[in-house]
Structure 1
Amino acid sequence: MKHNKKKKMRVLLVSFICWLTVVTVHGQDTLQVSLQQADSLLMVRNLSLIASRYEVDMADARKVQEKLFTNPELSTEWSLHNPSSGKWFDVGANGQKIIQLEKVFRIAGQRKASVRLAEEEKKLTQWQYYELARSLKYELHVSYYRYYFLNNAVTNIASRLALLRNLISIYEEQYAKGNISLQELTRLKSVYFEINNQVNETRTELVRLEQSLQLLLADDRPVRPAPAATESMLGVMPTATLPDLVTRSLENRPEIQAAKSIGNQRALQYALERKNGIPNLTAGGVYDQAGSYVNNYTALQVGLQIPLFNRNQGRIQEARLGVAQSQVLRQSKQQEVTREVESAWKIFQLLDAQYKAVGTDFEAQLELLSKGLVSNYSKNNLSLLEFTDMFESYNSSIIELNQLKADLTKSYEELNYAVGEDLQR
């Protein structure tokens, strides 16, 4: 007797170790993250963001380049052949050579203007990086929430489908014995087929959502949302008013800041082109060993281009038009952002009202309805028509309810995206 107990304990222990091993391996093969963890991984892993950060660094390098002064130019001229002495490369004490040093000086402040323009270009690349990060975060949140809710629907329905599959197996045996009609069996199979098709369509979307999460987080493992208080945000309206949200969007949106930066760049470019219309000063020195009116001739050189024909008129006019264009584009972007906020606000209100009309306890009511549904039908407490109608209603409602939750969270994320910040609710 004791030997049998010990044997059973060993079997249980081995089974537990095997189960623990399977769970551990499964955990290693799946990346389960909370939304906050997913946000952190997005910022450090996403390849598009990494590439965009290089753009910021490249803009910083261009700023460094604009700060540099122009290099002096050194040139020299050596005698190839002296016909008087018959010597080649006669550059000694009695030969001839010329050494010349020149440097260009930008006397109208072009260097300072170029540096300021490079600084503004760097700001633009930073705002573009922020906008890309914001767009990817929106995509991550929408995929994350939708996967959570649709997977929840599939999980809830799968157990009921298994019960129905077992019931169909029993009825197939009874039909073979002639105890039930073909109509009853076919009706049950039709219900199973219809609900199973809905589940498979949802699973197909889950595959696409999983692929999206993997790409966003740059991970080869399947990504799974961690169980969390995901549904606590449902049915809660933002406290801010629509005019307040519009005002905040015009202050927060990276696209608005980028439009401002483009306007600043155009103004700086206009100022630079006007300065470029002023000629640069060239200064230097020359040494001529024996080719001038005296030996060992030295001189100071100064040069200035005469702005007689080309005063950079075309580029100045182009830059002036660019300033006017940037102002129009900025106004257009402000109108676009305002409309986006208004649209996102209205859609969120509609979906929020729809969710509240259904009731937060609707899912619990469906769960209560589903309990004992199959057993009651098996006991003839329900007719075939009543059973199939209730079964179809339950499963379809579960899918539609979770889709509504996914749509509601998406609309909230769209409102966050439109405003340019995470709203406090």
Structure 2
Amino acid sequence: MASSLIFVFGITNLSAQSDSLKMSRKEAESIFLSKNFDLITQKLNISQARARVLQAKHWPNPTLSLSEINLWRTYEVDELPGIIGDWGKTSQIAAQIDQVIQTAGKRRKNIELQQIEVHGEEFELQEVLRELKKDLRHVITEIIYNQKQQLIYKNQIESIVKLTKSYQNQLSEGNISKAEYIRLKAQELDFKKKLVALHQDLEELQTEIKAFLILPADRHVYFVDDLEVPQKDISESNLVRWTQLAKENRPDILIALNQEKHAQKNLEIQQALKIPDLTFSINYDRGGNIMKDFIGVGIAMDLPIFDRNKGNIQEARIEIEKSGIETRKNKLKAENEITSAIRNYQRTQKIFEDIDADYEESLDKLLVSHEKNFRLRNISMLEYMDFLETYIDNKLIILDTKKELNQYFENLQYAVGQDL
């Protein structure tokens, strides 16, 4: 028992020693948007995609080649005019410049493909943000829920410790039985054990929130917000409107639609690739033929006899079909998720509406009354303990209901793809 008490107070002191950061939900989200590593990485992916667009706009570089250079004199050579003074009278040299010209609009289509990939990375950023915001908000709700639970148990521990000390004095004077004292002490230790469990749960939540907000390990985040019920009309009458919003704004649907565009543009490129590019050349030859200084032009191209890119074209057509299926799947998934979130919210809301507005306040007043009557020995320990258990159970039910309403509302926003 002593070790349990030491453990409780050890955790409390550890939390007190660390630098506590008090903040609201909005402040946490602001820090998250500016500092989160996953968001920063995804923004860099967008910059990389834009760099690929820039690269795609460049024409292929021309190729310069030098050949037929003799470093020594051969026999029976016709002398030519010197290149520098008398040097070079027996030297031969050839030079050629080649320039590839892409046909069938390949360059333009590749630029358009890269621009589609930029849009894809932007939609990926929205999807990463959507996922992380939902997780962040769930963690914040869990932390606030944990803080409220701790407050309930701390208040009861503070009260029951006073009762236990009073009963210990009564026991030493022989006014009560040891069984009554043990029963009260057992309840005190049970509350402390539950508080320890809450501290342990909070430690894991602190690890998560600090990862979201990029905070050092010695920080302890405390949220000043209450566990409020979302003030929003949630009903199936909004299903059609929210489903339409999801189709227009939900990132995974936008990603799928963008992938369809990407697949269509890739098909255009693959069809263009069956048309060979042209290579234009201009060449100079000194002493290599009947002319002393020969300048000529040329053109080259692949002959599309054996390979007309049929396999890649067929694969691109299949990719269009696959991306269309993915789009339809995501749209159906969005509608199902919105419907499920609405129904879960409504079920929990019905429970919350059954709780009277002043019910929680009445519970607190009744607890004070029972504690007073217990001190005055007007009610038995059994009656007091029964009501204390009922009190805590009901306080937790109210907290659970508020937490679930927040989580289901966030699930709905996640399903719609934007804040409501």
TM-score for both structures, normalised by structure 2 = 0.88
Alignment of 1:242-391 (within 5 A): 242-391=239-388
Is 1:400 the counterpart of 2:397 in the alignment?
yes
Give, as a single letter, the amino acid of the residue that structure 2 aligns with 1:225: F
Alpha carbons 1:79, 1:91 under 8 Å: kept: no
Which one of 186, 191, 195 corresponds to residue 195 of structure 1? 191
- Counterpart in the other structure of 1:11: none
Deviation at 1:397, TM superposition (A): 2.2
SS in 2 for 1:258: helix
Deviation at 1:373, TM superposition (A): 3.2
Deviation at 1:259, TM superposition (A): 0.3
Deviation at 1:264, TM superposition (A): 0.4
User: In structure 2, what is the Cα distance between the partners aligned to 1:83 and 1:71?
Assistant: 36
- Counterpart in the other structure of 1:15: none
Alpha carbons 2:139, 2:209 under 8 Å: kept: yes
Alpha carbons 2:247, 2:253 under 8 Å: kept: yes
Q: Which moved more, 1:204-213 or 1:272-281?
A: 204-213
SS in 2 for 1:358: coil
- 1:324-369 deviation line (CA, Å, top 9, x unaligned): 1111111111111111111111111111111111233322122112
Q: Which moved more, 1:27-36 or 1:201-210?
A: 27-36
User: In structure 2, what is the Cα distance between the partners aligned to 1:384 and 1:113?
Assistant: 83
Deviation at 1:174, TM superposition (A): 2.7
Judging changes above 3 Å, is the alpha-carbon distance between structure 1 residues 120 and 101 closer, same or farther for their aligned structure 2 residues? Answer: same
Is 1:82 the counterpart of 2:79 in the alignment?
no
Structure 2: 5+ residue runs without aligned partners? 1-15
User: In structure 1, what is the Cα distance between the partners aligned to 2:41 and 2:189?
Assistant: 47
Deviation at 1:232, TM superposition (A): 5.3
- Counterpart in the other structure of 1:416: 413
Alignment of 1:212-227 (within 5 A): 212-220=208-216, 221-227=219-225
Which one of 57, 64, 67 corresponds to residue 57 of structure 2? 67
Q: Which moved more, 1:307-316 or 1:243-252?
A: 243-252
Is 1:107 the counterpart of 2:97 in the alignment?
no
Deviation at 1:28, TM superposition (A): 9.9
User: In structure 2, what is the Cα distance between the partners aligned to 1:242 and 1:227?
Assistant: 30
Give, as a single letter, the amino acid of the residue that structure 1 aligns with 2:192: N
User: In structure 2, what is the Cα distance between the partners aligned to 1:91 and 1:263?
Assistant: 65
User: In structure 2, what is the Cα distance between the partners aligned to 1:396 and 1:66?
Assistant: 65
Alignment of 1:111-190 (within 5 A): 111-190=107-186
Alpha carbons 2:234, 2:346 under 8 Å: kept: no
User: In structure 1, what is the Cα distance between the partners aligned to 2:18 and 2:166?
Assistant: 40
Judging changes above 3 Å, is the alpha-carbon distance between structure 1 residues 128 and 233 closer, same or farther for their aligned structure 2 residues? Answer: same
User: In structure 2, what is the Cα distance between the partners aligned to 1:296 and 1:102?
Assistant: 19
User: In structure 2, what is the Cα distance between the partners aligned to 1:226 and 1:82?
Assistant: 92
Q: Which moved more, 1:38-47 or 1:356-365?
A: 356-365
Alpha carbons 1:72, 1:101 under 8 Å: kept: yes
- 1:37-82 deviation line (CA, Å, top 9, x unaligned): 2221111100111111111111111111111110000011221332
Give, as a single letter, the amino acid of the residue that structure 1 aligns with 2:296: A
Is 1:41 the counterpart of 2:39 in the alignment?
no
Deviation at 1:381, TM superposition (A): 1.6
SS in 2 for 1:75: strand
Q: Which moved more, 1:382-391 or 1:289-298?
A: 289-298
User: In structure 1, what is the Cα distance between the partners aligned to 2:257 and 2:272?
Assistant: 23
Give, as a single letter, the amino acid of the residue that structure 2 aligns with 1:117: L
Alpha carbons 1:150, 1:403 under 8 Å: kept: no
Judging changes above 3 Å, is the alpha-carbon distance between structure 1 residues 303 and 117 closer, same or farther for their aligned structure 2 residues? Answer: same
User: In structure 2, what is the Cα distance between the partners aligned to 1:338 and 1:227?
Assistant: 32
Judging changes above 3 Å, is the alpha-carbon distance between structure 1 residues 294 and 157 closer, same or farther for their aligned structure 2 residues? Answer: same
Equivalent pairs counted in the alignment come to 395
TM-score for both structures, normalised by structure 1 = 0.87
- 1:274-319 deviation line (CA, Å, top 9, x unaligned): 0011000000111110112322111101001110011111111110
Deviation at 1:176, TM superposition (A): 3.7
Judging changes above 3 Å, is the alpha-carbon distance between structure 1 residues 370 and 352 closer, same or farther for their aligned structure 2 residues? Answer: same
SS in 2 for 1:275: helix
Alpha carbons 2:267, 2:317 under 8 Å: kept: yes
User: In structure 1, what is the Cα distance between the partners aligned to 2:103 and 2:177?
Assistant: 101
Alpha carbons 2:229, 2:405 under 8 Å: kept: no
Identical pairs, percent = 26
Is 1:51 the counterpart of 2:41 in the alignment?
yes
Alpha carbons 2:230, 2:405 under 8 Å: kept: no
Give, as a single letter, the amino acid of the residue that structure 1 aligns with 2:356: G
- Counterpart in the other structure of 1:14: none
Alpha carbons 1:175, 1:182 under 8 Å: kept: yes
Give, as a single letter, the amino acid of the residue that structure 1 aligns with 2:183: R
Alpha carbons 1:191, 1:392 under 8 Å: kept: no
Deviation at 1:169, TM superposition (A): 2.4
User: In structure 1, what is the Cα distance between the partners aligned to 2:393 and 2:187?
Assistant: 11
User: In structure 2, what is the Cα distance between the partners aligned to 1:207 and 1:366?
Assistant: 30
Judging changes above 3 Å, is the alpha-carbon distance between structure 1 residues 198 and 362 closer, same or farther for their aligned structure 2 residues? Answer: farther
Structure 1: 5+ residue runs without aligned partners? 1-25
